[in-house]
Amino acid sequence: MSFSRRLPHLQPVGKWLFVTWHLDGSLPHARFPPPGKNSDGKVFVAMDRYLDSARTGPRYLLKPEIAGIVAKSIKAGVLLGHYELRAWVIMANHVHVLLLPLIPASRLLQSRKGATAREANKILQRTGRKFWQAESYDHWVRDDLERERIATYIECNPIKAGLTNHGWSSVADTLKTKPSPETRDN
């Protein structure tokens, strides 16, 4: 187990990590202080419900060109050998990923968030401004059952939030790669 000053603080070796990060300014600080002593499951549930239902504030991830940048970056982390990926989704103002880190988790989050922020801000003509909130919510997965429960949560999140025809997720990737009935071997 290694220790980091940034989130996540402790990194157990060989454990899956559920991470959520969101756009800067998408959560009111008075209602949701930055992660710290009060970063338990109840805080996450309240935060996620708020983000799912927010119709105001930054919602840049609804723009296909921005969501595409984030999706490409998430997938690039796998190709770079930074992590194995079980499930992911890009929502209007936040991202959920379930991954098995192969490098220190703080490094992989920094690289994914940094690269996407620069590219997104260029498209939005916001160069030099914060794109992502600095801190992220993270949870180390305890066992296989919890991992699958979290994967289901992530993959059902767009439906629960009312995002129809949402194509920025591991579910959408799976559907794109499944052979159609006409092309399957019988």
Report the share of the chain in percent with pLDDT over 70.
79
Q: Which CATH superfamily is domain 2-177 in?
A: Transposase IS200-like (3.30.70.1290)
Coil, helix or strand at residue 111: helix
Written as six digits, the tokens of 40 are 């338990």
With a cut of 80, say whether residue 10 has pLDDT above it: no
Q: Where are the chain's structural domains?
A: 2-177
Q: Per-residue pLDDT tens for 99-145?
A: 999 998 878 888 889 889 999 999 999 978 899 998 888 899 999 99
> pLDDT tens digit string along 37-65?
555 678 888 889 999 998 889 999 999 99
pTM, two decimals, is 0.83
